[in-house]
Structure 1
Amino acid sequence: MATLRTLRKLCQHTHHQACSLHLSASRQEAVVISGRKLARQIRDEARADVEDWVSAGNRRPHLSVVLVGDNPASHSYVLNKTRAAADVGISSETILKPSCISEEELLELIDKLNTDHRVDGLLVQLPLPEHIDERRICNAVCPDKDVDGFHVVNVGRMCLDQSTMLPATPWGVWEIIKRTVLSLPLMQRNIMVAEFCSDALLFLLGDATVTISHRYTPKEQLRQHTKIADIIVAAAGIPNLITADMIKEGAAVIDVGINRIQDPLTGKNKLVGDVDFEGVRKKASYITPVPGGVGPMTVAMLMKNTIKAAKNLLLTPPERVRMVASS
């Protein structure tokens, strides 16, 4: 059965599971969803899956990460991914390349990794230097090894409701919703998605009434939609985009935003989301923090994709990998 169809059917039978998975400050405030706790749960599932896979005589799954340049945030993200891989029993490597690497050199490296039978999962950490076409690079990764789910073939498979590599962030958002928020079937939910990852979530949340906006939607128009939403997914990259006056009482708010701003009190940089956390938590029923919300879930779902890639490649002839990678 196709991955998305399976997820949709699961959601119809998912009930409230919040008590053991969250931290709650008080009954009057929102339950703060711990993405770290949920990610540990998923990584435990992934670890058991890897152990079963290896015990059956299969090679340990391997993830290769290509990191270009010296962006501190990218280096931090990659370190989190390789640490998670080690935690669940996936071997990994980080291939460092200078920011001056040419697009052709990077494509040659990807082609080499595509045809390396020891590599199950492959991702190129974004963003890339301006002289490199990110879309061309994403499409150069073999779809069967594309654990980010960015290749046009995987996007197409998702749109056609076929088994595929789901993009890790929207899949992580879906798992948060499925495992914590849902007490009613999706068909009884109004969901507001603000920009990023909206396409993937649209398919994952196929039975719900989904409204999509973007960072340029006028605030008053955005408010009209958020005020009636049962679940709000905010990922427009705008600090404090969603405020308490914009949500209805008891709404669930998933904050995907990652924004670095200067703390007015300390003068130091800090990480915030797209939601006014302190204000919204007084009115919402559930809310994710930044950091510690969606971020850990993204990494956990990446581990799931790597395991899936290893299983798929075992059944994929090397000739097909070379053919797809070069197409």
Structure 2
Amino acid sequence: MANLLDGKALAQKIRIQLQQEIQSLQAQAGRPPGLGVLMVGENPASSVYVRNKERACEQVGIASFGKHFPTNITQAELTEVIHSLNQNSEVDGILLQLPLPPHLNAIPLLYEISPDKDVDGLHPVNMGRLVRGEAGLRSCTPAGVMQLLREYEIEVTGKDVVVVGASILVGKPMALMLLEAESTVSITHIKTKDLAKLTCEAEILVVAAGYPKLITASHVKPGAVVVDVGINRLTDYEGRKRIVGDVDFEGVEPLVDYISPVPGGVGPMTVAMLLQNTLWSYKQRVGKNLE
């Protein structure tokens, strides 16, 4: 049986550490860290994510400046809200919850967020800092994967790592973080020819393709480490809904040394890294020497 990469337990451990640090820093700085999460419309999945983020903020002592807007808000109005939060000295992080309604263009809106408040790590400035290996805000999900690997003392330096998925949210920054850690990284995706041939060579396999149960037993090397980033909502023939990853857990788990479950693996780590990014931004703002 494989060892489980328990992101839920690690995320809780990180929250306790953040809560303690925030209590100490707030006493010196005179204010808590602040996070503004912007949500447009009533997308059910987004509503759950935003509630979880706001609840997590409350648990660790981060002030929430969340704003929920009707679906008919205009591009110009939302841009103005972002500018207002950029200028608000009590807000250290800004997150625009995706997806947005079709009439809104997410890319220019994300670019309007100040790079130093971009706690999702999606601004080109922060992506550039990642490419250059400079300090900065990192994309939450891949940062969570790296933290999970460190927690379980899984060495990545020199390892053959395959990333399945090349999105700007996960795949590309994931590959860059692994490269920064001196892994040998291959990036694949759903259109890769003979995907199994490449994934079977991976000592560490990170899957973020967005296709349920894409990776089966025939795709993995025995003894590998498998990190499943996928979150897919399926409905069975009886109408019951469940969440599955991009990996066929039941088929793969007996073959590998470590595997992350879905749910309870990478998902909680994404929120934990959002909180950690907000604290990092706060510390840059109120003074790096505050301890």
TM-score by length of 2: 0.94
1:292 correspondence with 2:264 = yes
Unaligned runs of 5+ in 2: none
Instruction: After TM superposition, list the pairs within 5 Å mapping 1:133-172 onto structure 2.
Output: 133-172=105-144
- CA deviation vs aligned residue, 1:166-211 (integer Å, no higher than 9, x gap): 01000001111121151x4511x11110114222122221211111
1:83 aligned residue: 55
2:211 aligned residue: 238
Unaligned runs of 5+ in 1: 1-28, 317-327
Q: Confirm or deny: 8 A CA contact 2:140 2:273 kept in the other structure.
A: yes
Q: Confirm or deny: 8 A CA contact 1:181 1:252 kept in the other structure.
A: no
Which of 228-237 and 197-206 deviates more?
197-206
1:304 correspondence with 2:276 = yes
1:214 correspondence with 2:189 = yes
1:319 aligned residue: none
1:107 correspondence with 2:75 = no
- CA deviation vs aligned residue, 1:239-291 (integer Å, no higher than 9, x gap): 11110121111111100011111224x43221111000111111111111111
Q: Give the Cα–Cα distance (whole angstroms) in 2 for the partners of residues 57 and 172 of structure 1.
A: 27
1:93 correspondence with 2:65 = yes
Selected match of 1:194 from 154, 164, 169: 164
- Partner of 1:205, secondary structure, is helix
Superposition deviation, residue 141 in structure 1: 0.5
Q: Confirm or deny: 8 A CA contact 1:144 1:313 kept in the other structure.
A: no
Q: Give the Cα–Cα distance (whole angstroms) in 2 for the partners of residues 129 and 181 of structure 1.
A: 41
Q: Give the Cα–Cα distance (whole angstroms) in 2 for the partners of residues 215 and 48 of structure 1.
A: 43
1:173 aligned residue: 145
Q: Confirm or deny: 8 A CA contact 1:192 1:229 kept in the other structure.
A: yes
- Partner of 1:56, secondary structure, is helix
Q: Confirm or deny: 8 A CA contact 2:29 2:286 kept in the other structure.
A: no
What residue identity is the alignment partner of 2:245? G
1:251 aligned residue: 224
% identity of equivalent residues = 42
Selected match of 2:197 from 224, 227, 232: 224
Q: Give the Cα–Cα distance (whole angstroms) in 2 for the partners of residues 272 and 100 of structure 1.
A: 33
Superposition deviation, residue 111 in structure 1: 0.6
TM-score by length of 1: 0.84
What residue identity is the alignment partner of 2:91? V
What residue identity is the alignment partner of 2:192? T
- CA deviation vs aligned residue, 1:126-146 (integer Å, no higher than 9, x gap): 111111111101111111111
Q: Give the Cα–Cα distance (whole angstroms) in 1 for the partners of residues 178 and 244 of structure 2.
A: 26
Superposition deviation, residue 78 in structure 1: 0.6
Q: Confirm or deny: 8 A CA contact 2:8 2:264 kept in the other structure.
A: yes
What residue identity is the alignment partner of 1:231? I
1:263 aligned residue: 236
Superposition deviation, residue 55 in structure 1: 2.7
Q: Give the Cα–Cα distance (whole angstroms) in 1 for the partners of residues 100 and 243 of structure 2.
A: 22
